[in-house]
Amino acid sequence: MTMNGQLEMAEEQSIGARATPAKAMPAYEQIKRYVIARIEEGVWKPGGLIPSEAELVKEFGVARMTVSRALRELTTERVLTRVQGSGTYVAPQRYESTVLEIRNIADEIAARGHRHSARVLTLEASDDPLALESLVLGKGPVFHSRIVHNEESEPIQYEDRYVNPRVFPDYLNQDFTLETPNHYMVRLAPIQRAEFRIYAQKPNAHVRRHLMMEIGEPCLMLWRRTWVGEHVATSVQLWHPASRFHLAGNV
């Protein structure tokens, strides 16, 4: 028997008293069932932080790798969400909006059978006070990106985004011509909740120029904030030429 096998057998014996199944189950599986039970009972709620690995190790008297395996599998199964440097949270059962679904623009374009491309205008650290306020941070810097998204060769969205570095510390190291910020962030830490507003307004000269719009042509501007766990993860303005955009949803 391998060292890992001996360790798992010992752990099964050490926490087997917590349940009385007819057949013994692996220690990590018992931990998974415990976590799921706490969620189903409403003790741990969607978006809430669960005990740390160290706390679960102490609670169950097992090796850290056993707890880590249980949490890793629950994350893969979308029961939990793990955020680097923050902790492990109960994943939302489902993200819903009666008006707006958060979608990756590259996927929308691909669904229409067209090619998406992106041009990164800005990727920097920022101390903008309005961004700090929107992200509910006392001090900076925060991360800032400006990106123009194209469908075929036509610009259809100007994205002006601020990002919380506590949630996405490697944001500035990404190549957003290969992967959109939306896809990158959802891949790492699924959204817990969001708020948004939609405005019809004229863009400033900078946005108008990059969207190749006529003077006086209106935009639909979507402002959105999203949360990961207890943190505001990002605040973004998405500008769309009204003549090249429509909003659809299901109620």
Range scoring the smallest mean pLDDT among 67-81, 105-119, 174-188: 67-81
Q: What is the pLDDT of residue 246?
A: 59
What pTM was computed for the model?
0.60
CB–CB of 186/91 below 8 Å?
no
pLDDT > 90 in the chain, percent? 50
User: pLDDT digits over 82-136, tens only?
Assistant: 887 788 988 865 433 334 456 788 988 888 889 999 999 999 999 999 999 999 9
Q: Which residue has the higher pLDDT, 147 or 248?
A: 147
Element spanning 199, H or E: strand 193-201
Q: Please report, for the chain, the start and end positions of each structural domain, with discontinuous segments joined by +.
A: 3-90, 105-244
pLDDT > 70 in the chain, percent? 83
What kind of architecture, by CATH, is found in domain 105-244?
3-Layer(aba) Sandwich (3.40)
Give the confidence band of 7 by pLDDT, cuts at 50, 70, 90. very low
CB–CB of 195/225 below 8 Å?
yes
Element spanning 7, H or E: helix 3-15
Average pLDDT over residues 161-178: 96
76: which DSSP letter?
H
Across the chain, what does the average pLDDT equal?
Answer: 84
- Residue 147 in tokens: 């990106």
Element spanning 19, H or E: none
Q: What is the pLDDT of residue 109?
A: 87
Listed in sequence order, the residues at least 6 apart from 148 whose beta carbon sits closer than 8 Å to its beta carbon are 118, 119, 121, 155, 157, 158, 159, 210, 211
Q: Cis omega (within 30 of 0) on the bond before 141?
A: yes
User: pLDDT digits over 213-233, tens only?
Assistant: 989 888 999 999 999 888 999
Q: What is the pLDDT of residue 21?
A: 41
- Domain 3-90 maps to which CATH number in 2.60.210.10, 3.40.50.880, 3.40.50.300, 1.10.10.10? 1.10.10.10
Q: Where are the beta strands (DSSP E) in the chain?
A: 80-83, 87-90, 116-126, 142-151, 154-163, 193-201, 219-228, 231-241
Nearest partner of 148 among 226, 206, 90, 94, judged by Cα: 206
Give the confidence band of 18 by pLDDT, cuts at 50, 70, 90. very low
- Measured CA to CA, the distance from residue 119 to residue 159 in angstroms comes to 10
Q: What is the pLDDT of residue 79?
A: 85
- Measured CA to CA, the distance from residue 89 to residue 92 in angstroms comes to 9
